[in-house]
Amino acid sequence: MAQAAPIPRDATVAVIGAGAMGRGIAQVAAMAGHPVRLFDTRLNAAEKARGAIAEALMAQAAKGRIDAAACETAVSRITPVHALGDCVSARLVIEAIVEDLAEKRALLRELEKIVGASTILATNTSSLSITALAAGLRFPGRVVGMHFFNPVPLMQLVEVVSGLATDDAVAECVAAIATAWGKAAVRATSTPGFIVNRCARPFYGEALRLLAERAADVPTIDALLREAGGFRMGAFELMDLIGNDVNFAVTRTVWEACYHDPRYAPSVIQEERVRAGHLGRKSGRGFYDYAEGSARPAAATLAVQPAPKRVVACGELGIAEPLLRRFDQAGIAIERAPAHDAFPDGAIAIGDGMLALSDGRTATARAAATGAKRLVLFDLALDYARTPRLGVARADSCGVSTQDAVAGALHAAGVAATPLDDVAGLVVLRTVAALANEAADAVTQGIASARDIDTAMQKGVNYPRGPLAWADEIGVSRVRDVLANLSAHYGEDRYRLSPLIARRHAVGAPLADDRAST
């Protein structure tokens, strides 16, 4: 039985594998006060890693970010060792060797012969099943995932992952130690991609589908995600940074592990990039060109038009209400009228047409269904009071005069109106709805709590909101409508509604609240 009592700061931690991740883990453990044994099969790799840690810490100390004496003490706690047997005294072993099931299983079997029965065996695997890694060991209950993010000293998140056999107390103990090391620990059950790599799939997947449908070009989709959505990077910029080969492989692994669930289907567009060697920043070309001197293409923006003198707000605009305030501040008169029959959830009469927030239908389909032929739809923004950009799409039945009036009003309000083809759910709204759907399914399936998923997506991939809290902000009923309309529009299982969203919508309860009934 593994010991699950709290691991004191003077307990030895062994780190196996002194590559990018092992080095970072050793640094964090040593800074927290633990004596660290660092082992790698590559000659001198552990010594070099210790040297690199010393250099990195001293650079931080030189900038005054940390105390130089504390750095020296931390480095002195790290002992490179040349045999696994030298890890015998460890209370916690964290392996960060090559991502290979057979290699990791062999290592864990070897470790079991060396360390005491109470030692916890943690793995930093990012894709392998914790259950599979633990299978066949004498004490599989002590094997747990401790998934750090790169670079370890900077990234706050640690996913603590339980396989079928993992003792709950072991997972709790590892979560406690990660917290003591200054990390945000979230708990998950072993599933393809764990929390972050699974729940983030729609961020890339929707962008790739939007590109495939030619809803907009790469810089325009990225600009909307970044400037309107508040994501740190656009999906294509991020895929280029991660590497299209790596990102494609992760998508493919999750898709295959989930028996080809269309939710996770990889994109031919991305695969073609990989085939062409357009891997991203590392190869000098991906979705963007990184050759020296090459300019970043600009996002599409509608030309400046005269602002309309007045608009009529029909009903309540809900989350988009701040847009009206910006129109007002820009000198556009706002009149109020009861909700329009065709737009019970609010719309703005503008120029000779109507402007409304997307509900997941195309503008053309919605214009046909409502009879409002001159219809322009707008996209989601993280904060309508501040967004510098907003996506818009006009129905096929809508002439340019309505779009010109929309562009004029938005421009006067300081918003770059970004033209999109008439795509269902536009860019940011459908991305956030798909992220929330995925997160809701992860809650439904008991992979993690709503709170941990929201924390993981904010700390692990820097999302501006947790997807579930964001869906609550938008309104569960709108998110449900967007998904239902996307599902009807594409006729694909990809947009099937998570049971959690259906249930919370039915009772009017929030998604981000773990105490709400499921």
From 488, 492, 503, 498, select the one nearest 467 (Cα to Cα).
498
Joined tokens for residue 229: 């959505």
Question: Is there binding between residue 126 and ligand NAI (CB under 6 A)?
Answer: yes
**Nearer CB in complex with ligand NAI: 124/431:** 124
Place of tokens 């050793």: 26
CA dist 492 and 263 (Å) reads 9
Choices 20-28, 73-81, 327-335, 492-500 (CB under 6 A): range interacting with ligand NAI: 20-28
Q: What angle do CA 126, 130, 132 make, to 5 degrees?
A: 120
CA dist 219 and 386 (Å) reads 21
According to the 3-state scheme, what is the secondary structure of 345-397?
CCEEEECCEEEEECCCCCHHHHHHHHCCCCEEEECCCCCCCCCCEEEEEECCC
**Nearer CB in complex with ligand NAI: 150/329:** 150
498 is a catalytic site residue: no
Number of residues that bind ligand NAI (CB under 6 A): 24
Question: Is there binding between residue 456 and ligand NAI (CB under 6 A)?
Answer: no
- In the set 124, 129, 162, 197, the catalytic residue is 197
Task: Supply the minimum distance, in Å, between the C-beta of residue 99 and ligand NAI.
Answer: 4
Collapse the DSSP code of 123 into the 3-class scheme (helix H, G, I; strand E, B; otherwise coil) and give the result: strand
Please pick, from the candidates 40, 245, 422, 454, the single residue that binds ligand NAI as defined by CB under 6 A: 40
Question: Is there binding between residue 419 and ligand NAI (CB under 6 A)?
Answer: no
Residue with the shortest CB distance to ligand NAI: 19
**Nearer CB in complex with ligand NAI: 99/316:** 99
CA dist 132 and 109 (Å) reads 13
Binding-residue pattern over the window 134 to 173 for ligand NAI, x denoting contact by CB under 6 A: --------------xxx-----------------------
**The residue count for the chain:** 518
**Nearer CB in complex with ligand NAI: 148/231:** 148
Please pick, from the candidates 124, 244, 362, 418, the single residue that binds ligand NAI as defined by CB under 6 A: 124
Choices 26-34, 39-47, 183-191, 384-392 (CB under 6 A): range interacting with ligand NAI: 39-47
**Nearer CB in complex with ligand NAI: 39/495:** 39
**Nearer CB in complex with ligand NAI: 20/258:** 20
User: CB–CB of 273/244 below 8 Å?
Assistant: yes
From 224, 183, 190, 160, select the one nearest 423 (Cα to Cα).
224
User: CB–CB of 433/475 below 8 Å?
Assistant: no
Question: Is there binding between residue 218 and ligand NAI (CB under 6 A)?
Answer: no
**Nearer CB in complex with ligand NAI: 14/471:** 14
From 166, 201, 123, select the one nearest 2 (Cα to Cα).
166
147 is a catalytic site residue: yes
Please, is 338 exposed, middle or buried when counting C-beta atoms within 10 Å of its C-beta (0-12, 13-18, 19+)? exposed
Sign of CA dihedral 181, 182, 185, 190: negative
Task: Supply the minimum distance, in Å, between the C-beta of residue 95 and ligand NAI.
Answer: 8
Task: Supply the minimum distance, in Å, between the C-beta of residue 212 and ligand NAI.
Answer: 27
Question: Is there binding between residue 125 and ligand NAI (CB under 6 A)?
Answer: yes
Which segments of 233-327 are extended strands (E)? 310-314
**Nearer CB in complex with ligand NAI: 150/462:** 150
197 is a catalytic site residue: yes
**Nearer CB in complex with ligand NAI: 124/487:** 124
User: CB–CB of 202/431 below 8 Å?
Assistant: yes
**C-alpha dist (Å) from residue 192 to 45, 163, 253, 294, 442:** 30, 12, 8, 38, 11
Question: Is there binding between residue 129 and ligand NAI (CB under 6 A)?
Answer: no
Task: Supply the minimum distance, in Å, between the C-beta of residue 307 and ligand NAI.
Answer: 48
Question: Is there binding between residue 17 and ligand NAI (CB under 6 A)?
Answer: yes
- In the set 34, 147, 278, 340, the catalytic residue is 147
- In the set 126, 190, 485, 498, the catalytic residue is 126
Task: Supply the minimum distance, in Å, between the C-beta of residue 125 and ligand NAI.
Answer: 5
From 193, 60, 50, 199, select the one nearest 125 (Cα to Cα).
193
Sign of CA dihedral 405, 475, 195, 492: negative
**Nearer CB in complex with ligand NAI: 49/429:** 49
Please pick, from the candidates 7, 14, 15, 21, the single residue that binds ligand NAI as defined by CB under 6 A: 21
Binding-residue pattern over the window 78 to 117 for ligand NAI, x denoting contact by CB under 6 A: ------------------xxxx---x---x----------
Joined tokens for residue 166: 């993992």
159 is a catalytic site residue: yes
Question: Is there binding between residue 22 and ligand NAI (CB under 6 A)?
Answer: yes
In sequence order, what are the residues at sequence separation of 6 or more whose Cβ sits closer than 8 angstroms to the Cβ of residue 94? 13, 14, 15, 16, 22, 25, 29, 122, 123, 124, 146
CA dist 209 and 456 (Å) reads 25
Choices 12-20, 230-238, 257-265, 510-518 (CB under 6 A): range interacting with ligand NAI: 12-20
- In the set 95, 159, 206, 237, the catalytic residue is 159
Q: Which of residues 42-81 bind ligand NAI (CB under 6 A)?
A: 42, 45
Residues near ligand NAI, by CB under 6 A = 16-22, 39-42, 45, 96-99, 103, 107, 124-126, 148-150
Give the residue numbers marked as catalytic.
Answer: 126, 147, 159, 197
